[in-house]
Chain A
Amino acid sequence: MTQVSSRVADDVRFVAKADYLKTLTTLRDEGFEMCVDLTAVDYLTHPGRNIAPEVLGQIVLERFEVVVNLLSLSQRRRVRLRVQIAESDTVIDSAFDLYPGTEAMEREVFDMFGIKFNGHPDLTRILMPEDWQGHPLRKDYGAGNIPVQFKGAAS
């Protein structure tokens, strides 16, 4: 039985953006039936992010990171994928065809970070009003110092 309570037990893999769907397919065939979580991190002000030196040689760190947590119900295992997304090209393939449950999660990441998911059936804002400008969880989006944007309100 895999204990999740200790830090070393986390199985983290860095995946290149081009191999993202291929890796997901392989992992799904290996028995990771469920994509429990998909989120993103904006490393604008913390580009170093404490990565093991042996990994650092193989990947190029970018501003955004899409973090995908997969769960294998049959093997009681988890795996976490970290995909680097460049600021200049914030598009990644959608995992929707493999894991339909990522639908809302990808919409949330699009809404909050502006990362677009290629192949998503309905990529619209999910939490913010649909005419909102900007992506709130980006680090350069100031909290509390912007005029309130609402439909019909003078700003």
Chain B
Amino acid sequence: MTATENIADSQDAVITAAGTNEGRQELQLRKDVSAKEILRGSGAVLRMSESEVAALAGTQSEDQTMIINMGPQHPSTHGVLRLMLELNGETVLRCKPVIGYLHTGMEKTGESLTFMQGGTNVTRMDYASPLNNELVFAMTTEKLLGIDQDIPERAVWIRMLLSELNRISSHLLFMATNGMDIGAVSMMLYGFREREEVLRFFQKVTGLRMNHNFIRPGGVAADLPAGWRDEVLNLLDALPARLAEYEILMTGQPIWRERLQGVGVITRDEAIALSATGPILRSTGLSWDLRRDMPYLRYDKVEFDVIIGSYGDAFDRYSIRLNEIRESMRIVRQVLDAMPQGDYRIQDKKVTPPPRGRINESMEALIHHFKIFTEGFKVPEGEAYLAIESPRGEIACYIASDGSATPYRMHVRAPSFINIQTMPLMMRGGLVADAVAVISSVDPVLGEVDR
């Protein structure tokens, strides 16, 4: 395709948007799409040339295949993910994820919220691991403020504790939904039961089960409550036996293995090319974890292993997540030992409101408190990108600031949004039932995909 053709193409999309271009987002009939798009759709970018695909495209006659919709309302699509599948009988030939059903313009909303309020916005993106979203937003803001090295030790370790517990709860949710998708329905109950115990701890610490807005620029919102250590220890003592149960229920079972092994295979080069991160990238045997490779917080002070797979299939991704729960527990134990005393937020008056007690006695403190929550604090001009490892992969925040109290542009690099690009590749040539296993093994959170 020549350059001019393509511009004409894309302008066409804009012009027709004035009227309607219904159907353009969807999976097109084979005769209507370019060889390049088929190439993309089949994920063969790395293996086949355009001419080879053009030849291949002609081999399948349209009257033997059909295009069906899976979703947006479908129990195994984890929300409102819509997949358009081209099927030949039971075999998936092409797949196109159609997203946007949950789009609420959170990046636009983020531009009108102050840096103080921004946490309430980003925490709703990946609702299965909200604390990681808050963490990356807070850390990027701190980087722009230039206070990233001055965060009190206790705040940093509290962040690590919550981040790891959140990883556990997110992976437990994966265990539950993955189990149900594959047919081990009782797993749904077990996974949610264990996750609930982690969420109960979050409720005790932050006041909410989800959408905490607890990690804020400058530290965390409050200190850990009395008795937190025992709560965490109870959790850590209860979990290993439950995980052993999961192993009995799933890992060794022939049916479980049949459903997952060799399904949704992706190679290392493909995962890198498609920008996939997290368990998908690690399942291909590449040892890449930002906690170890580009350490943030105090991950360089704790010992843990990066779990990798070897076949890049759905089973590897399942076992990686199961074992990452164990590694996170290992980190949490070290955090318990290392938790220092001290402030839980920075004593920089610019970003930290005065303590409650001072407000009753000092007019200045009251005014300061009022101003920080209504007007927010100003962040110097500049732009910053900062990435951390969320349970789903690299979550990053890009903030451009114009020197005011609200971000000029706030962009979140959502791992699920990028990771669903691997689905067409993983599903190609598989069965419809395997498509369910593939969606599940990618573990997308649609709140984050659509933002």
> Looking at the complex, which one of A36, A73, A103, A110 makes contact with B40 (CB distance below 8 Å)?
A103
Which B residue's beta carbon lies closest to that of A130? B25
* Contact yes or no, A39 B396, CB < 8 A: no
Which of B10, B23, B108, B420 is close to A116, meaning CB atoms less than 8 Å apart? Answer: B10
Chain B residues with Cβ below 8 Å from A122 are 37, 40
Contacts A34-B272, A34-B275, A69-B385 given: A104-B10 contact, CB under 8 Å? no
Contacts of A26 in B (CB 8 A): none
Within 8 A of A (CB), among B4-40: 6-7, 9-11, 13-14, 17-25, 34, 36-37, 39-40
Partner of A130 from the list B18, B21, B139, B400 (CB cut-off 8 Å) is B21
Nearest opposing residue in chain B for A135, CB measure: B14
Using A10-B384, A42-B409, A116-B7 as known contacts, say yes or no to A121 and B398 having CB atoms under 8 A apart.
Answer: no
Are B408 and A46 in touch, CB under 8 angstroms? yes
Assess the A127–B100 pair: CB atoms within 8 A. yes
What is the bound-complex CA distance between A100 and B10, given in angstroms? 18
Q: Which residues of B contact A20 (CB under 8 A)?
A: none
Which residues on B sit within 8 Å (CB–CB) of A151?
A: 20
Answer yes or no: B368 CB below 8 A from chain A CBs: no
Chain B contact residue count (CB 8 A cutoff): 76
CA distance A51 to B421 in the complex (A): 34
Q: Quick one: which of B6, B40, B144 has the most chain A CB within 10 A?
A: B6
* Contact across chains for A49 and B381 when beta carbons are under 8 A apart: yes
Interfacial chain B residues near A120, Cβ < 8 Å: 6, 10
Chain A contact residue count (CB 8 A cutoff):
62
B398→A39 contact, CB < 8 A: yes
Whole-angstrom distance from the CB of A42 to the nearest CB of chain B?
7
Q: A123 at the A/B interface (Cβ < 8 Å)?
A: yes
A126 within 8 A of B: yes
Find chain A residues with CB under 8 A from B398 CB: 37, 39, 67, 69
**Residues of chain A contacted by B108 (CB below 8 angstroms):** 136-137, 143
B275 pairs with A101, CB closer than 8 A:
yes
> Would you call B143 and A35 a contact (CB within 8 A)?
no
Chain B residues with CB below 8 A from A136, complex form: 105, 108
Chain A residues near B421 (CB, 8 Å)? 101, 103-104
Q: Taking the nearest CB of chain B, how far is it from the CB of A131, in angstroms?
A: 5
- Taking a contact as CB atoms under 8 Å apart, the answer to whether A73 and B288 are in contact is yes
Interface of A is mostly: loop
B7 touches A36 (CB 8 A): no
The answer to whether B296 touches A125 (Cβ under 8 A) is no
Map CB proximity to A onto B287-301 as digits: 1 under 8 Å, 0 otherwise: 010000111100000
The reply on B346 being an interface residue by CB < 8 A is no
Distance from B272 Cβ to chain A, minimum over Cβ atoms (Å): 5
Shortest C-beta distance, A132 to chain B (Å), equals 7
Known: A36-B396, A101-B273. A128 touches B387 (CB 8 A): no
Q: A91 to B413, alpha carbons, bound, how many Å? A: 23
Of residues 29 through 47 on chain A, the ones whose CB sits less than 8 Å from some CB of chain B are 33-37, 39, 41-42, 45-46
A100 touches B413 (CB 8 A): no
Q: Which of B9, B17, B103 contacts A131 (CB 8 A)?
A: B17
Cβ of B107 under 8 Å from chain A: yes
Q: Are A7 and B396 in contact (CB under 8 A)?
A: no
Contact with A along B386-411 (1 / 0, CB 8 A): 11000000101010101100001101
- Are A128 and B103 also in contact (CB < 8 A) when A101-B273, A121-B40 are? yes
Is B99 engaged at the interface, CB distance under 8 Å to the other chain?
yes
Given the complex, which residues of B lie within 8 Å of A91, measured CB to CB?
7
Could you say which of B6, B17, B22, B277 contacts A133, with CB atoms under 8 Å apart? B17
Chain B residues lying within 8 Å of A118, measured Cβ to Cβ, are: 3, 6-7, 10
B112 touches A36 (CB 8 A): no
Whether the Cβ atoms of A131 and B20 lie closer than 8 Å is yes
Contact across chains for A4 and B10 when beta carbons are under 8 A apart? no
Partner among A50, A104, A114, A117 whose Cβ is within 8 Å of the Cβ of B417 = A104
Which of A45, A96, A124 has a CB less than 8 Å from the CB of B24?
A124
9 further interface pairs, Cβ-Cβ under 8 Å (given A37-B396, A41-B400, A131-B20): A3-B294, A7-B384, A34-B275, A67-B383, A116-B11, A121-B40, A125-B17, A130-B21, A136-B105
**Interface pairs (10), CB distance under 8 Å:** A34-B275, A41-B408, A46-B408, A49-B400, A119-B6, A124-B13, A125-B17, A126-B99, A126-B100, A127-B451
Across the A-B interface, give the 6 residue pairs with the lowest CB-CB distance, nearest first: A101-B275, A50-B381, A46-B402, A127-B100, A121-B37, A37-B413
